[in-house]
Amino acid sequence: MDRSFVVIKEIGDCGIIYANGYLNGLGAERLEEECEQLLREGIKKIVVNFKKTELINSIGISVLIGIIEKVRSAGGHLGFCNLEKVHAETFEMLGFTKYVPIFPSEEEALISMEKRPPYRGRASRKEGSDG
């Protein structure tokens, strides 16, 4: 049974992906597909909102790693927001936080994407994909 449902919104030059439901099955792949689609459309700033995420297991993690890699190699910028504590801790444990900035709210993520010079994580420098 698939209980993930992805919603996409575009604000300015930024795409927001809502990772709703359960990121614990192959259904979570839609996240990655939507992200690819946004990148293809030339939208290089992507925020993933976890406000309505119920559960993330290793399958979900592998999909999120896929997203990080795709945005990285497209030279884009990625941010996560509205993470529950348990998920934030998982991301910290896995080292995500060193590569993706985490914002308490969508507004803050958008402000950062818009105003600040684009995020330059260690990863994107290492891959040389950040310009």
Partner 1 sequence: MDRDDLSKKRLLFNLAALIDLGEEITSDKDFKGVIKSSLYLIMGTLSASRGAILEYEGGRLQFLASKGLEGEERAIDLLPEELTFLRSHNQPFLFESSSLFLEGRQKWEALLPVLVAPMIVKKEFIGLITIGKRFTGEAYTQEDMDILSVMAKHIGTGIYNHNLLLSLSQKVEENRRLYTELQLVYYDTIQALAAAIDAKDDYTKGHSRRVARYCVALAEELGLSREEIEAIRIAGFLHDVGKIAIDRSIINKPSKPTKEERMELNQHPLISYEILSKVRFPWKEIPLSVRYHHERVDGKGYPDRLTGDKIPLLAKIMAVADAFDAMTTDRPYRKRLSIDEVFREFEREMGKQFDPRVAEVLLRRLKKELAGEVKERRLLMDEGMEEGPSLRRLYLRRIN
User: Which residues are near partner 1 by CB under 8 A?
Assistant: 24-26, 55, 57-63, 65-66, 68-69, 89-90, 92-95, 98-99, 123, 126
- Please list, in sequence order, all residues whose beta carbon lies within 8 angstroms of the beta carbon of residue 118, skipping any fewer than 6 positions away: 45, 77, 130
Give the nearest distance from C-beta 12 to partner 1 in angstroms.
Answer: 28
Shorter beta-carbon distance to partner 1: residue 93 or 131: 93
Shorter beta-carbon distance to partner 1: residue 35 or 123: 123
Q: Rounded distance, CA 23 to CA 12, Å?
A: 27
Shorter beta-carbon distance to partner 1: residue 14 or 28: 28
User: Terminal CA-to-CA distance of the chain, rounded, Å?
Assistant: 42
- Of 126, 123, 113, the C-alpha closest to 44 is 113
Give the nearest distance from C-beta 43 to partner 1 in angstroms.
Answer: 21
Give the nearest distance from C-beta 31 to partner 1 in angstroms.
Answer: 12
Classify residue 78 by burial, with Cβ atoms within 10 Å: 0-12, 13-18, 19+: buried
Shorter beta-carbon distance to partner 1: residue 18 or 91: 91
